[in-house]
Chain A
C-alpha cells in the first residue's frame, strides 16, 4: 500500500485520529479508566461526591485526549513506515507480530491480574495494605518468570506451571495470613493433602488408561462406616482393616469388569456402582440398628494415632498418614516410570491398538487399575475414620470432584497416556494450599467451591486442550 498523500502532522490542541474505530476505542478506554477512577474515588471516602464526579469527568476527558494524541502519533509513525522499503517493512512487522504472538498470553495474564488487583483494591477497603501490594508484585514477577522459563520445560510443562502456582500461593498466603507458615498449619495442610493424595492414586491410574472413577467418594464413605461397624461387631481391628481393603478391591474389580466394554461411559458406570455400594453398605450396617445410617463405636488407638492430627511417628510429631502418603507417592512415581507394568500402562493409554499388538492385555490393566482405585479409596476411608473418630457416610462426599480436580490440575490427561502420579501430587498440594488460603482470608465454603470450579477451567486450558477438529481429519 502506497500513500500518495502523506498527511501533515496534526498534533494540534484537539488531535483527531484518522480511523473512526480508533476514536471509539479511545472513547471506550477512557470511559473504563474513568469508571475505575470513580470506583477508587468513592471507595476512599475522602472527597465529597461532587468533587469525585468532577474529577472523574476531567479524567475521562483528559484520558480521551491523551489517547487520541497517542493514536495520532502512532498514525504518523505508520505513515512514515509506509515509506520504508517492502523488505524492511515485512521484517519489522513479522518481528513485532512474533513478539506479540510469543508473549500474548503473558501480557493478557499480567494485565488481567492488574485489573483484578485494582478492582479488589477499589472495592474492598480492608484489602489495601502493603503486604497485598508486595504479594501482587511478587505474583506479577512469578508470571513473568514462569512464562519466560517454561519454554525450557517442554515435557513437564504442566508440572512446572503447577509448581509455580504452588509457590505463588505459598508466598501470597505467607504475606497475607498470619501463622500460615506455622508448624501446625503446615502439618494440617499435609495431613489433608495426604488423605486426598491417597484417594487420588486410583483416579490417576484410571485416568492414565483414559477412564474415570466416580465411585471413589462412595467407597471412601462406605469403608468408613463398614470398618467401624466391623470393629463394633467384635472383629479384631487389624483383620477388619484388611477386610475393608479387600472389599474396596472387590468393588473396584466389579467396576473394572463392568466398565470394560463401556469405556466411554466409565464415568456413569462407576457413579451408579458407587451409589449402589453406598446404599448397600448403609442397609447392611443399619439392619437391626435403632439409628439407621449411624454407626457408633470406639476407634482403636493405633488407627487413631495413624491419622489424627496429634499422631506420632516413632516419636516424631508427624501423623503417620503423611509418611504413608510419601511412601506411596515414591513407590507410585518410580513404579510408573521404571517397571514394565507402569510402562505398559502408558502404552495402553497412549494407543490401545499398538499396545495390544505388542502383547499387552488391555482387560488386565483396565481391571487392575480399577481394583487399585478401590483399594486406595477404602484405605482413605479407613484412615479418615482414624482422623475423625466417628463413622459418617458423607465423609467421602468432598472427594467426588476434588480427586478429579487434583488429577486434572496436576496435568494428567483424562484421555489417557499422559501424566503421572508426581503431577497429581502437585495438583493435590495446590488444591490444599488454596483451600487453606481461602479459609485463611475468611472465605466461606460455598465461595471456595465457586472458586475451585472457576479455577479448573483455566488450569486445564493451559495444557489439556484437545486438538482442533481440522487437525484430526
Chain B
C-alpha cells in the first residue's frame, strides 16, 4: 500500500474500527436489532441524524470553520412549519411537502451564505444568530409539541419494513453526494475549503461555490426534516438543540475536518451511525435513573476523545500504513456481518428483563445479563458439517490470499471483493427475513 493513498483516507480508519466494535456489541447486547422491525426502526431513527450530519459535512468541507450550530433548530423549524401547514390542511401531497421542506432549508442556507459572503461576518456568529432566532420562532409557530404530520407519511415511521421511503431518501441523498463528487464543482469546493486564498487566486469563483455548498446543505437539512417529521409524525419545536450536538459529534467522530477541505458522505455516515449505535448500546444497559446523564457524559467524552484522536491519526497512519481503510472495512465488515448472521439465525433468546435497582452499586448499574446465545445450531449430518467447514475454509483462504496480494501491491481487490460483500449482505438479509418469518419458502418448523 503506498503511503500517499493510505494517508488520504486514513481518517476513516478510526470510525471504521469504532463502528465495527459498536455494531458487534450492539448486536450481542440487543439482538432485536437484527430483525425486520429492528432494522426498520433503526433506519427511521438514524435517518434524520445522518442527513443532519451530511448537511454539516458539506458546510465543513466548504471551510472557514463553518459549523452550522443551527442545523437542529433549522430541522425543527421545517418540521413545525410542515406540521402546522398539514394540520391546517394546506399540505397534503408529497410533492408540495418536499417543495416546502427543501425550499425552506435552501432558503435559510442561501441567506446564511449571503451573510457570510457579503456582510463578511464569521460563520460561527451567523450560526449562533440563526440558532437563537430559529429556536425562538419555532416556539412561536408551535408553542408545544403536537399537530399531525402530512397524511401520506403516516406509515413511514412505523418501521415495519426495511425498504421504507426513509431508506430510499437516505440512499438517494448518499448517491447524490457521490454523483456530486464527480463534478468539477466538488473539486472547487474542496480546494476552497482547504485554502480559500489559493482557490481564489487560481480563479475559482469562491462566492458561487460557497452558495452552492450552502444550497446542498439546505437540501440535506430539508430531507432530514422530512425524515424527522415521519419519525415523530407530529411537530416538536424544542428538540433541535439535541440534534445539533449529536450531529456535530457525529461529524467529528467520522473524521471530517472542521477546518475544511476534508470529508465525505462515507465519513458522515460512519460517524452518524456510530453515534446512533452508542446510544443504542447505552440503552441496553440498565442505568436506572441516571440513564440520561450517562448518555450525556458519554457523548461529551466521545466528542472530546475523537477530536483528540484526529491529532493522532497522522502518527497512526505512519506506523500502520499497511492497513488501508478499504481493507479494514472489508475484514471488519465480514466479522461483524458474521456475528449478525449468527445472532439473527439463532432465534431463541430470552428477553432480558429489567433488573430491579436494589442491592450493591455494581449490581445496580452494570449487571445486566447479556443475550443468551443458543449454541444448538440446525441439525447437520457429519458429512454436511465437514463439507460446510471445508467450503468456508477454502473461501476464507482465497479471500485472505487475494487480500494480502492486493494490499501488498497497492491494488484494488476488484470484482471479487464486491461479490464477496454482496454475498455476505444477501446472506444477512435472508437470515433476517427467515427469522422474522417474512419469507414463505424455506420456513423452518
Residues of A within 8 A of B (CB): 212, 258, 261-262, 264-265, 267-269, 271-280, 282-283, 286-287, 292-293, 401, 404-405, 408, 414-415, 444-454, 456-457, 460-461, 464-470, 472-473
Contact = CB atoms under 8 A, between A and B. Distances in A.
A450 B73 CA distance: 12
Contacts of B130: 453
Given A461-B119, A466-B122, A258 B304 contact: yes
Interface in B286-307: 288-290, 292-304, 307
A272 B296 contact: no
21 contacts: A264-B258, A268-B67, A272-B249, A273-B304, A279-B295, A279-B297, A279-B299, A279-B300, A286-B293, A292-B290, A414-B124, A447-B140, A449-B133, A449-B135, A451-B136, A453-B135, A457-B119, A457-B129, A460-B121, A465-B119, A465-B120
Given A282-B293, A449-B136, A453-B134, A268 B124 contact: no
Nearest to B365: A287
Interface stretch (B13-21, B195-203, B393-401, B426-434): B195-203
Looking at A267, A272, A415, the one whose CB has the most chain B CB atoms below 10 A away is: A272
A278 B296 contact: yes
A272 B293 contact: no
Contacts of B293: 278-280, 282-283, 286, 292-293
Contacts of A269: 303-304, 307
Contacts of B303: 268-269, 271-272, 275
Nearest to A456: B129
A456 B259 contact: no
Given A272-B301, A276-B299, A451-B136, 9 more contacts: A258-B308, A271-B245, A279-B297, A405-B132, A450-B136, A452-B136, A457-B121, A464-B125, A466-B120
Contact of A450 (B119, B137, B200): B137
Say what secondary structure dominates the interface of chain A: helix
Contacts of B289: 286, 292-293
Nearest to B198: A473
B69 to A, nearest CB: 9
A457 B308 CA distance: 32
Nearest to B251: A268
Contact of A446 (B65, B140, B290, B304): B140
Contacts of B245: 271, 275
Say what secondary structure dominates the interface of chain B: helix
Nearest to B141: A446
Interface residues of B, number: 54
A456 B304 CA distance: 28
Interface of B: 65, 67, 115, 119-122, 124-126, 128-140, 196-197, 200-201, 206, 245, 248-249, 252, 258-259, 288-290, 292-304, 307-308, 311, 361
Contacts of A466: 120-122
A261 B300 contact: no
Contact of A280 (B125, B297, B311): B297
A461 B119 CA distance: 6
Contacts of A461: 119, 121
A408 to B, nearest CB: 6
B132 A452 contact: yes
A261 B309 CA distance: 12
Nearest to A214: B69
B132 A456 contact: yes
B294 A450 contact: no
A283 B206 contact: no
A401 B293 CA distance: 22
Contacts of A472: 197
B132 A268 contact: no
Contacts of A274: 300
Nearest to B197: A473
